[in-house]
Amino acid sequence: MIRAVHSFPRGFLWGTATAAHQVEGDNRNNDWWAWEQEPGHIALGHRSGKACDWWGGRWRDDLDRSAADGHNAHRFSIEWSRVEPTSAVWDEGAIDAYREIAKGALDRGLMPVVTLHHFSNPLWISESGGWVNPEIIPLFERYVRKVVTALQDLVGIWVTINEPNLYAVLAYAMGAFPPGGKDIGKAVRAARNLTLAHAAAYHAIHEIQPGSLVGLAHHYRAFWPARPANPLDRWAARARWRMVNDLIPRALADGRFRSLIWNERLPQAAGTQDYFGLNYYTAETIAFDPSQPGTLFSRGFFPEGSDLSPTGFIANEPEGLWEALSWAHSTGLPIFVMENGVEDPTDRLRPRYLAAHIRQVWRAVNFAWPVRGYFFWTLVDNFEWERGWTHRFGLWELVPETQERRKRPSADFFREICKANALSSDTVAAYAPEAFEWLFPPKGRMRPEATTA
Ligand code: BGC
């Protein structure tokens, strides 16, 4: 049996990622809470309720779990509606509570990585037009200045906005997130305003804290032509890739926003990333379909025979992460994998998903690409937006009614990886034996991925 150790560089960050509305509970003053109260929006009528009760103080026990499991970082987000419950009125108590969480992370040996916007907005913002109204840009900057000024002695890595690409589409084109818009033009407008809000935040944070690292978390989805030899499928996959993956990062690189609807110069956005933050979950194949103008004349489905999560939400396609890393690397920036994970209540798929994706990160590290950290989504089962509690992404299971946590085997597997700063064949054999031959093939059966960059 082959034995190998895939080591990561010293100082590599290992942790999990969370988001305020998904873990805090009782976030009554934002658009998500209001959305949850209206029937039909959330699977099975679920609500965030107490979530993981972090606002009630359970972040302490959960970060104890992270520290005990060898993590050295944690990514969490700040809830804008708590810090600024009404326009220009600041809740200093809420800011102190976030200082306490950041300090609590540091005290446990966890580097805090802080997201400033993760899908939820104060009600006063959504009532004044949300992200399609460009007036949000200076308002977001004002909030960012307040938070960064207050936390700058504790936090040095900032994620301005989580997944602006996915957020714009889900909230303004697909109707899945508040405000439930179904207009592609509005989604593109929101994407533009999100890009500019990020840029304003980037410049403001650097003014306050010149040495900080500022970026955002891009959602990358791999799109492969269903029939690779078919030029229409190739065109359709490319069109989706451009709109979903490339639109915002390109604008952040060269200051040009090139949507399929309009082009615009946004010079203030150029060069506004100190690192490339990547969220990757899955890949899909795309077939040209002239009857689907709303989805760029195409249909998407998971590759045939793929290893699917229990609800069919995610296919285990680690090559897509490799593709995402290669693309991120082409920007020349250091890279953080800011999210990666799978919903799996019985932990049947998660161990091999984890092993296979961390293997891709190691491939990149092995070519000396500057990948600096990996954050698994997520620590404890949380409120999964429009899917409510039907999706379980945690290393730890949560019983929301009792707040009981139960460890899944993947938590131990991830602990072995974090503690060793390496993925070894021994731990794969112990926790994901079914992935062993795929990751460590016997001599003479090496997969081409192991040898090419
Ligand atoms: C989001 C998380 C979400 C996860 C799994 C990501 O796109 O950033 O907030 O919970 O997907 O659904």
State residue 453's pLDDT score. Answer: 40
CA of 117 to the centre of ligand 1 (A): 13
For residue range 262-273, list pLDDT tens digits in order: 899 999 999 999
For residue range 356-366, list pLDDT tens digits in order: 999 999 999 99
CA of 397 to the centre of ligand 1 (A): 17
376 lines ligand 1 (CB under 6 A): no
For residue range 173-203, list pLDDT tens digits in order: 999 999 999 999 999 999 999 999 999 999 9
* pTM score of the predicted model: 0.97
280 lines ligand 1 (CB under 6 A): no
State residue 452's pLDDT score. Answer: 45
For residue range 392-424, list pLDDT tens digits in order: 999 999 999 999 999 999 999 999 999 999 999
Ligand 1 nearest-atom number relative to CA 391: 12
SS3 250: helix
Give nearest CA residue, ligand 1 atom 3: 384
Task: Answer for the pair 78, 98: CB distance below 8 angstroms, yes or no.
Answer: yes
Q: In the chain, what percentage of residues exceed pLDDT 90?
A: 94
Distance, CA of 380 to chain centre: 15
For residue range 87-139, list pLDDT tens digits in order: 999 999 999 999 999 999 999 999 999 999 999 999 999 999 999 999 999 99
Peptide bond into 378 cis (omega under 30): yes
CA of 437 to the centre of ligand 1 (A): 30
Q: Calculate the average pLDDT of the chain.
A: 96
Tokens of 288: 């040209």
- What string of DSSP letters covers 36-94? HHSTTSSGGG---TTTT-IIIIIHHHHHHHHHHTT--EEEEE--HHHH-SBTTB--HHH
313 lines ligand 1 (CB under 6 A): no
Q: What is the mean pLDDT of residues 206-225?
A: 98
For residue range 429-449, list pLDDT tens digits in order: 999 999 999 999 887 666 556
Q: What is the mean pLDDT of residues 29-50?
A: 98
